[in-house]
Structure 1
């Protein structure tokens, strides 16, 4: 039997309208779909009638499918000659452990295809109606996870000193320590925002300042999954809210 292949599909932030055509075609062509926990379950409506669906949820703070087990599943099915479609929330190449999976599959002689998508950081910015970069505020954006493999945190002082917009993933449970650490370098009035469930019908948006963002998030019960955005460019969202005399907290319906 010929060896199959694995396609790493980026499912985007949740809304199926944000899937690429290429992602939809890959899902329709798959024999086995391995689906992450944060992926919109309606994505299975795009599969073929014969395709098998296996949920391999991975979420911080929740019971998760071990990464080694997921990689064994991919190898097993691909070596049986099947087309395995590994469906990841957001973009597969950003904080999705794609690097580990790609290396493992290539070591096993299995072909890997990658389909890009929209990360929740971009979805969060779109929800706020702001650009992550802005010639008047910054020249770049840094995507960073709030905790390292050993459960420590990044060098927030060094990140803050870059002057770039910070798009912080997996930081909702640490927003107090994050804002405190960033405030040692940035001023308390630095614009900040949190977007929970970005790009989905459950989306919740909160605009504040770095000095207030943690308290506001706690008051409004903002939790994971969420993206924290910090920097001058995010102030454009605060200006819009002030101009419309709207409350800082905003919700979007489906």
Structure 2
């Protein structure tokens, strides 16, 4: 007899530390019969899945080998059609640059029950860990989350004007290798070179660190530091509160 289709949960693993998982995410992982996880998911999170769970790394790290999105879609569908409880585990929040819309739409078309489980995103983790707000009365009225989108290897010259407003905190994801170009775009569109800025590596993890500077000089600081982990760039007056809270900028250690 054919299997009753299983369910697919598109789950946010947060920034890395297992204790930053939501309770719903933890329960989904513990109940998984098949776990498709991105390369940046911490081992301590993967270890929460049952020993008998089928575990498949999908990649999804910039510049590294990854399964094609179409392949991931087909794999989720195949496993669900076998009647398995499938968890597609993504770093951060799946609805923020996690392709959750594409995957959910594909599964819905094929009649698979799907649930999205949110997670802590990198900007929120960085702010909490290093002691600064993302919005603040009199300094930041809004938060803009964006990526350093490229075309033919160059940053796309669109959307930067919204990031130039002094009352906007900008969180730029997946921009480590294009950080200098992104900062140059911000200045070209009117953001002051003196605006405080942070580059946070491995936000939310025990090994996290942050490099402090300004829009005008942070690019050189990051290049010199040679960061290897995932980096979120946060620009805005609010980031000065991080430097005020920790004694030794420009390289600050994560709070315990």
Q: 1:127 to 1:149 in 2, by over 3 A?
A: farther
Q: 1:149 to 1:104 in 2, by over 3 A?
A: farther
Q: Separation in 1 of the partners of 2:151 and 2:34? A: 29
Cα-to-partner distance string for 1:33-82 (whole Å, 9 max, x where unaligned): 00111110222221123211111111111121111111110000111111
- Kept in 1, the 8 Å contact 2:143–2:170? The answer is yes
Deviation at 1:150, TM superposition (A): 7.0
Equivalent position of 1:165 in the other structure = 169
Equivalent position of 2:73 in the other structure = 71
Q: Separation in 2 of the partners of 1:240 and 1:252? A: 11
Deviation at 1:190, TM superposition (A): 0.2
- Kept in 2, the 8 Å contact 1:133–1:139? The answer is yes
RMSD of Structure 2 on Structure 1 (CA): 1.7
Q: Separation in 2 of the partners of 1:155 and 1:91? A: 22
2:203 to 168, 191, 198: 198
Where has structure 1 moved over 4 Å in runs of 4 or more?
148-152
Cα-to-partner distance string for 1:86-125 (whole Å, 9 max, x where unaligned): 1101111111111100000000010101111101111111
Q: 1:203 to 1:173 in 2, by over 3 A?
A: same
- Kept in 2, the 8 Å contact 1:202–1:253? The answer is no
TM-score by length of structure 2 reads 0.92
Deviation at 1:228, TM superposition (A): 0.1
* Gapped regions of structure 2 (runs ≥ 5): none
- Kept in 1, the 8 Å contact 2:130–2:254? The answer is no
1:60 to 54, 59, 62: 62
Equivalent position of 1:221 in the other structure = 226
